[in-house]
Amino acid sequence: MSTKTKIAVIGLGNIGKVVASNLVKSNREVILASHKIEDANTFAAQLGKLAKAADVKTAITEADVVVLSVWFNAIQELLKQYAAELQGKIIIDPSNPIAPDGNGGFKKIIDANESAGQILKELQPAGAKLVKALGSLGAGSLASAAFQNPTNVLFYATDEKSITNTIEELITNVGFDPVNLGGIDQSIRMEVFGELHEFGALGKPVTRAEFNQSAKS
């Protein structure tokens, strides 16, 4: 990913704000968009001159990499609504297909053996390249565990081998060490309840050495 690669962050909640802030810490420009342009304007002003606000359509059109930091159902809608604008773009899906279970926890809203990544792949606009990434940690850890020494890992999965350099640079710029899990069919491993999600078996942010150790045991 060259510094000319344009990144849009769509959705400025827990995850979108951290992703955008971390990118700015790495001196990357970001285009910010959300439901309400006022939210994008306010947050762009907080982040300073590397951030600019736009409406969703403009942000997608101007970007090369589009981070869809909205809930799984909203990603499904955005992929349909902006199918034309998303053609040829790299789309980052951080989603976890979950909803409150009514007992203070969360339940999966798709079948146990399904992943959001694989379902979204079916909706991928022509020529777009879907990547599962940036969702394997909770938003708190995405902020606090970034830019550490030694670096903590973030996992990604994609069927698009031609863009792995771009994705790895993106994850590095978000403050983490990228680990490629393989194709999009590996998404389930890093989604909530998967063995590589912070709230799954892994249990916390880990370095590459810790990840390698856990993979052996």
Ligand X SMILES: NC(=O)c1ccc[n+]([C@@H]2O[C@H](COP(=O)([O-])OP(=O)(O)OC[C@H]3O[C@@H](n4cnc5c(N)ncnc54)[C@H](OP(=O)(O)O)[C@@H]3O)[C@@H](O)[C@H]2O)c1
By CB under 6 A, name the binding residues for ligand X.
10-16, 34-36, 56, 69-72, 74, 77-78, 94-96, 135, 138-139
Shortest CB 188 distance to ligand X, Å: 14
CB closer to ligand X out of 95 and 173: 95
Return the amino acid letter for 44. Answer: A
The conformation of residue 203, written as its DSSP 8-state character, comes to -
Shortest CB 162 distance to ligand X, Å: 25
Residues 6+ apart with CB under 8 A from 60: 8, 10, 33, 66, 82, 85, 86, 89
CB closer to ligand X out of 102 and 216: 102
From the list 128, 129, 119, 90, the residue with the least C-alpha distance to 188 is 119
Shortest CB 150 distance to ligand X, Å: 22
Shortest CB 209 distance to ligand X, Å: 23
CB closer to ligand X out of 34 and 158: 34
CB closer to ligand X out of 71 and 155: 71
Angle subtended at Cα 176 by Cα 109 and Cα 72, rounded to the nearest 5 degrees: 20
3-class DSSP assignment, residue 4? coil
Shortest CB 137 distance to ligand X, Å: 7
d(CA 191, CA 107): 12
CB closer to ligand X out of 36 and 165: 36
